[in-house]
Amino acid sequence: MGDQRCFSDTGFSAFLSEGRLMGTRCSCGELHLPPRALCPSCHGTDLAWEETGGDGRLVAITRMAMVSPSMARQGFGSENPLCVGVVALTAGPRVVGQVVEIDHLTPGTAVSVDWSRSCPEAGLVFMASGAGSDLTE
């Protein structure tokens, strides 16, 4: 039986709090993340929650030295840039999240969600996958 949480930021955040990365799968086959109540591909409303897993490949990365006051209070800035990347999840969708331990990361690097740092307040945090990771494109 599928989860009955509403397809919203609230439902998505609740799953993140549980250490689960969830998207919505439409009956037309499209998977969307963040979740949506209306499929942008077919405009259908026959959707169900689907766990996407947190593995993927880094597509792009940027370092932000000029940050908002709230990020500065968290210690980010010119001496400690906030690194943000686009990740193509193995399940298909692309997501944006913070990327940590970036000195050795380049586009194409296998990454996974760091659940010890990810939460609704911080969003998704990615780090390089462990050695021996077997991710395919």
Architecture of domain 55-128: Beta Barrel (2.40)
pTM for the full predicted model: 0.81
The 10s digit of each residue's pLDDT in 53-109 is 899 999 999 999 999 998 899 899 999 999 999 999 999 999 999 999 877 788 999
Any residues with CB less than 8 A from the CB of 57 and at least 6 apart, and which?
87, 88, 90, 107, 108, 109, 110, 111, 135, 137
**β partners of residue 20:** none
Domain extents in the chain:
9-51, 55-128
pLDDT tens-digit readout, 6-60: 887 788 888 988 999 999 999 999 999 989 889 999 999 999 999 998 999 999 9
Looking at the DSSP bridge assignments, the partners of residue 60 are 86
